[in-house]
Every structure is written in C-alpha cells, then in structure tokens.
Structure 1
Amino acid sequence: MKRNSVVNAGALGLVALAFSATAPLTAFAAAPALALALWRNGLGVCTLGPVVAVRRGEELRSLLRWDRRRELRNTVFAGVALATHFATFMPSTQLTSVTTAAALVSTQPIWQGLIAVVCGRTLPKATWSGLGVAVLGAMVATGGDVRVEGTAVVGDLLAIAGAIALAIYTELSGRVRVTVSTPSYSVVCFCTFTVALLMVCLVGGIQLAGFGTATWLAVFGLLLLPQLLGLSMLNFVLGRASATTVSLVLLLEGPVAALIALVWLGQVPSVTVVAGMALVIAGVAVAVLFDARPGRDMPSIVTDPYPALIPPRRLRPPSTSPFPRSRRCTR
C-alpha cells in the first residue's frame, strides 16, 4: 500500500474516532450540556483565534466592508445555526441513549436534501430513495425509545432539531467558503456561536463553573478530540481524499459512538435502535454514493479574492445536491 494511502486512511480513522467521542463524553460529564458546548467552542476559539488573527488579519478585516456584508451575514447566521445544533444535540445525549442521539443527528443529509429542494435544486430519484430509507431508520430508532422511557422522546426531538440546525449551518457554510478561507470563516463563525450560546446560558441560569475534576477532564476531551483533532484532520484529509470517501467514513460516527457508550458507559442499545441506526446509515450511504457518480463532482478553479493571503486552491462548485459537503463541518 502506498504511503499516501496509509496516511489518508489513518487521518480518516482519527476523524471518525474523534467525532464519535462527542456523545459519550457529553453523557459522561456531570454538567449541563449547554455549558459543555460553550466551554468546548469557547476554548477552541481562544486556542485558534490568535493564530488566525495574526496570519489572516487582513482577510478578517475585509469581511467588515459593505460590499461583503452578505458573506458576513451568512457567517453570523451560520454561527447561530451551529449554536442551535450544539444546544439541541448535546442535551439529547443526556436525555436519550447515546446510540439513538447519534443515529438521529446523522439524518442531517435528509434535511439538507429538503433545503436543496426549497432552494430550487433538483434531487434525483435514487437520492430520494436513500433519504426515504434513512427516514424509516430514524422512525425505527425513535420508536425504540418511546416504548422504553417517555422522557427519551424529548431527547429524540432535540437530536432531530440538532440535525436540522446542522443542515442549515452546512448550507450557509457552502455559500461562504467559496470566497472565505476555512480558518477565517471558522473563527468568525465560532465567535458568533460562543456569544450566542453564552447569552442563552446567562438568561437560562445555566451553571458554567464549579464542576468536578472528571467533568473538566471531559471538557478537555471535547476540546482535544472533536474540536481540535477532529476538525483539523477533517480539513487535512479533504485535500487528499474525495468528499464521497470522507462522507462515508463519517457515517461510522454513530456505530463508533454506540460502541464507546457500550464499553465505557454500559449503555446497551435495544435491537430496534440498532436496526434503525443501520437503516439511517444505509440510506445516507445510498444518497452519497449516487451523488458521487462520474461527472457529478468535477472540481473547478475558483478565483480567490485574496491571492496574497490564501494560496490558490481547487474548490468544488455548487452541486445540484449538497451531499459531497454535507458533513464537512459538523463538530
């Protein structure tokens, strides 16, 4: 096997493992989920913000120009959507099982497909078939929790809301990243997210400090694994492997999260939840694979407005379906 193939496979494995740690770590921590989300992203901004400010300060300042108000507006809205995703998905892992929460939030491509239709794009029949299978899987996984524990219904609904918010975030990200570099976009978006979620926590009286050592270790794990390692490896591998391959590997997040929860937290998923999660993964995989047929994902050169700051790179044009970039910026 070629060295590049080994490196790519290792990076993809790290991405799946790092993102899969989100739900188990949140369920383990003895702290409000909103506080965990705030600390995770706030510390991420404090870590990466100064570096980006020094290296891409001119680009960040240019986003304040009047002629770039649409990019700035979409970035701010994306930050609010991301805050909504964390504010719904992370509490869902404490109200329902980790397996079900991971399965339902992985329905994000379903909602992204509906957003594509609303925006006037057409999805092929095979893609709709895959989405239908995924919807059926979500219903099966949810039904397993409804029969076991009534309070899990709230967690299920929050996980679905998190998937919808993530789809909105991805749609807005796809529009902005054509002309804004990933580091600059991430810093502005995550700063917006931190401010929005901080306001929610203060208004809601959420406890933000005074946690035990184990909880702070969980916060550090969320910062290190999904926030820094996961996103860094994802950005790295997207320049070396096809978007389809990355999307398929990210579908492993649900099963890996369920395995971690089984070994670490002792959460044994029911047969219906496992079956539903399998259907979700199969349905999304069908949609992603169909979109990757030859001729549907051809790269093109996009002119960068900041050639002195950002090296020229090959970006993908807007596709008739959002799935090649559907999980590019999840956690």
Structure 2
Amino acid sequence: MTVFLAVIGVLGVSASGPIMAATAAPALAIAFWRNALGAVVMGAPAVLRNPRGFSRLTRAERKWILIASIALALHFACFITALKLTSVAAATALVCLQAGWIALFNLFRGIPVAPRVLAGLGAALVGVVVITGFDLALSREALLGDLLAVAGGALAGLYTIAGGKARATLSTGTYTSLCYGLCAVILLLLCAVFRQPVVSFEPAAWLGILGVTVVAQLLGHSVFNHLLAVISPLVVSMIILLEIPGAAILAAVFLQEQLPAGTYGGLALILAGLAVVVTGQGRRAVKTEALPPAPPALGGDVEA
C-alpha cells in the first residue's frame, strides 16, 4: 500500500505543472483559487476539531505564518508565470531547487553545510546553466521563465523554513488553513493590482483550476503528508524528486513538449545534485536533531 500511495503522490505533483501550463487563465488567478480552495478544504476540519487553535496564536506564530504566506504567494506567482513562458520540464526542475536554496539559507544563517551538500549544489547549478543556455538560444521569453522559476524555488525554500518555525507549535490543519487563506488574500490583492480577472473564465479553465487543486493537493501533497507518518522524511523527499522527470514525461505525452537533447542533460544534473543535497542534509538532521519538524519540500508545488 505504501508503494501504491507513493506512486499516486508522484503522479499528483508531477501533473501539477502540465495542468497549470494548459489552463487558459491568468497565473495569479490560478494561484488564488488553488489557495482559496485549499484553505477551505484544510480549514473546515481544523475549525471543527480545534476552534480555539485559531484564536490563541502567539506573536511569533503570527510572524512566521505571515512570512510563509507572502513567500508562498510570490512562489506561485513566479512558478505559474514561468510555466506560461518556458517548458514545463525546465520550470519544474528549476523550482525544485528549493532544497538547494534551503541549504544556502542555512549557510547564511551560520549553520554548517557538509561538503557533499556543496558538491550537490554545484552539480545542480551546472544543470541550471545548461538549461538556461539552451533556453536562451530558443527565446528571451523562455529565459525569463527560467529566471522566474529559479526565484520561485528560492521563495519555496523560504516558505519551507518559515513553515517549519510555525509548525513547531501549530497543528498541520491550523497552520495550512491560515497560511493558504492569507496567501489567497495576498494573491487576490495582486490580481487587483495587475488587473488580472479571477472569474469569467471558460469552463475548460475552471476544470483546470479544479483539476490542479484536486490532483496536486489531495492526490499529491495529502498523500505525502500521510507517508511522513509511516516512512522517514528523507525517503519522502527523495521520492518527491521524481516530480522532475515525471513532469517532463507528462508534458511530452500530453502537451507534445519537445526539448533540445541538451536540456535533458541539465535536468539529469539537477536531479542528481538535489539527490545529493537531500541525502546530505538528511544525514546531518539525523545526527543533530536540532531543527523542528517542517513541511516537506514538495518540489514545484510546495503546498504541504
């Protein structure tokens, strides 16, 4: 059953990029509805189980929820826009660099980083250069999409770190419903600022929005959150890295996305480098046990 659920989870998060790329709606609107629906799905049970948990937040909890919500909103804005500009495979691989960004953020915070982690970061960085080089040859639009995806990965890393701080004292239901809800409010404001509509879409677009919410959140991240209770976070993080080749395969099959051969070499370098980063950080976490449990790093789709 565990293997079956892992397969379902990988298919769920892998399908996220292709579905959003094919959805004919503005990027900010897609992000808004995903988080608004996610807040309702996660918030309703949380309110019924522990209504007082929402009214007893400490100042520190409110601070970390705010930081996580802003980072998540900007992550989605960057990532979904990137999917509209560059290939699904490239955008997914570049945004999955969040594991590397977390290692770099820890380094800036004075937390030692193992040499093997730095080696993995180096390999992933070479993969980024390879992908962006080929995309620059294709178009400036594709290169802009790559840069937005890289920024989305950095924001995902910040979201994960802030979420870990908040989750040290908050339940999953309370944290995610508040984070998704505030994130939806921020995205709604961004839609107003950039004059992106949030309604009046074609039926196919609404199906895409509903599909990415159900597939990515319910069949993707909810499954991985369940697996965290039965297998180690390190194994879950390694399984989630399969989103990179999974998204590339699904985009090739359903969107007829064809990439230069060299791009696949860059994808392979990023995948290998991140695998080294994840295993290196996982071993250090086991030795030190210094950090509180955090939402898992969920690749291009970071909803936990």
- How far off its partner does 1:290 sit? 2.8
For the pair 1:165 / 2:136, whether they are aligned, the reply is no
Q: Which residue of 2 aligns with 1:305?
A: none
How many aligned positions are there?
A: 302
Larger radius of gyration: 1
For 1:8, which of 2, 14, 18 is the aligned residue? 2
Contact preservation (8 Å) 2:163, 2:295: no
Root-mean-square deviation over aligned CA pairs: 1.9
Matches within 5 A, 1:191-230: 191-230=181-220
Task: Say which SS state the counterpart of residue 55 (structure 2) adopts.
Answer: helix
Q: Which amino acid aligns with 1:15?
A: G
Q: What displacement does 1:22 show?
A: 1.4
Corresponding residue SS for 1:240 = coil
The one-character-per-residue Cα deviations of 1:290-330 (angstroms, maximum 9, x if unpaired) are 3344x74169xxxxxxxxxxxxxxxx6418xx999443881
Instruction: State the match for 1:146 in structure 2.
Output: 136
Aligned partners of 2:230 and 2:69: how far apart in 1?
27
5+ unaligned residues in a row in structure 2: which ranges? Answer: none
Matched, 1:246 2:236: yes
With the length of structure 1 as denominator, give the TM-score of the two structures: 0.87
Distance in 1 of aligned mates of 2:128 and 2:17: 17
If asked which structure has higher relative contact order (CA below 8 Å, sep 6+), I would say 2
Verify: 1:97 aligned to 2:69, yes or no.
Answer: no
Residues 189-216 of structure 1, C-alpha deviation per residue, up to 9 Å, x if partnerless? 1111000000000111002112112111
| 1:89 match: secondary structure | helix
Query: Identity of aligned pairs, percent?
Result: 36
Could you tell me which amino acid in structure 2 is paired with residue 228 of structure 1?
Answer: L
Equivalent of 1:28 in 22, 32, 45? 22
Given the alignment of the two structures, is residue 318 of structure 1 paired with residue 291 of structure 2, yes or no? yes
Question: Post-superposition, which runs of at least 4 consecutive aligned residues in structure 1 deviate over 3 A?
Answer: 322-329
Shift, 1:47, TM fit: 2.5
Distance 2:211 2:114 in 1: 40
After TM superposition, the structure 1 = structure 2 runs for residues 291-310 of structure 1, keeping only pairs within 5 Å, are 291-293=281-283, 296-297=285-286
1:260 Cα shift?
0.8
Deviations 1:16-66 (A, max 9, x none): 111111110111111111111111111121223222111121111111xxx
SS of the residue corresponding to residue 286 of structure 2 reads: coil
1: CA distance, partners of 2:65 / 2:201 = 32
Q: Find the aligned partners of 2:38 and 2:203 in 1 and give their Cα distance.
A: 20
Aligned counterparts of 1:92 and 1:29: Cα–Cα separation in 2 = 13
Alignment partner of 1:297: what SS? Answer: helix
TM-score (norm 2): 0.94
How far the C-alpha of 1:183 sits from its partner, in A, is 0.8
Work out whether 1:327 is the aligned partner of 2:289.
no
CA distance in 2, matches of 1:10, 1:95: 34
Task: Point out the structure with the larger helix share.
Answer: 2
Match of 1:151, SS state, is helix
* Mapped partners of 2:46, 2:173: distance in 1: 6
Q: Call closer, same or farther: CA 1:324–1:212 in 2, change over 3 Å.
A: closer
